[in-house]
Structure 1
Amino acid sequence: MIFPQMMRPRVSAMPTGARYWRLIITKTAGATDYVSVSEWQLYSSGVVVSQSKSITANKPSYAALTPNNIVDGETYFNSSASRWMVPVTNLPVTATIDLAGSFSIERIVLIGNTSVNALRVPKAFQIESSQDGASWGLIADVANAGMTSGNGYTWELTL
């Protein structure tokens, strides 16, 4: 994906081969109640390796809309049931995926959820990776994800 200058993420030279990956959401696109994500995909050799993997969050989700929903393979950005939703008062919030093995990630896709309010999509976030779950390296620091109806509320990065 070609990013306009203001939307380009800061990308580090951190190796992309890692077992643990985390998404740290710091800001919504303007919503004051919740941030909502439909899917988070990590690709290795053209295959989504994050689907159905173990995922945890460091803060409570809203009701049954847990982080497990963002690795379930349901990619529709307007799904009201298959999403992870967190109160804005809990930001920043972190979701960590354990891939159960080291994978060289070549592409990252994050799909915001707009089932109730398009302003609930993540606007600012970081993506980090780790071999051991203790020492983390920055992969991308996104200040303006630019998720809109024009791109299906999707943010993508090819590494």
Structure 2
Amino acid sequence: MVRRTSLKEADCPVARALDAIGDWWSLLIIRDAFSDVRRFGEFQRSLGVAKGILATRLRNLVELGVLEIAPASDGSAYQEYVLTEKGRGLFVVVAGLRQWGEDQCYEPGEPHSALIDNETGQPVGRLELRSADGRVLGPLNTTVRLAASPSTKPHGGA
């Protein structure tokens, strides 16, 4: 069996994020958690994943602080997996993957699900990356630069 290379110390934040939550089972668990799936059996029914794989992914997501284990909301003896603030921060990632999948992974006219705004009942607008002044940005309008760490002091200053 080939050993997976860890990217948790990589210079690139995309690589680090993929190391943490980049396998498809983890992202599908997170997707389901946004749809209020909370219990082990519910995740297993929804995903059709083997119990061992599901248990490993859930344990990893709890260790990463994406999910937390909480007492069952119905007062039963079960435990539930609940998104943390860190986990809820992945909503825009899952929504972006959903929109990309809608655009790129279906034939024209093929039915698929859509993300709906609960207040209006309308499909959610397209995600866009915007500059600080509101301009829409694409790959040709951006550059990746190494950011100074919070503990780094600027040169020549106090």
Larger relative strand fraction: 1
Whose relative contact order is higher, 1 or 2, with alpha carbons under 8 Å and at least 6 apart?
1
Q: TM-score range by the shorter chain?
A: under 0.3
In the superposition, the TM-score normalised over structure 2's length comes to: 0.25
Structure with max Cα Rg: 2
Larger relative helix fraction: 2
In the superposition, the TM-score normalised over structure 1's length comes to: 0.25
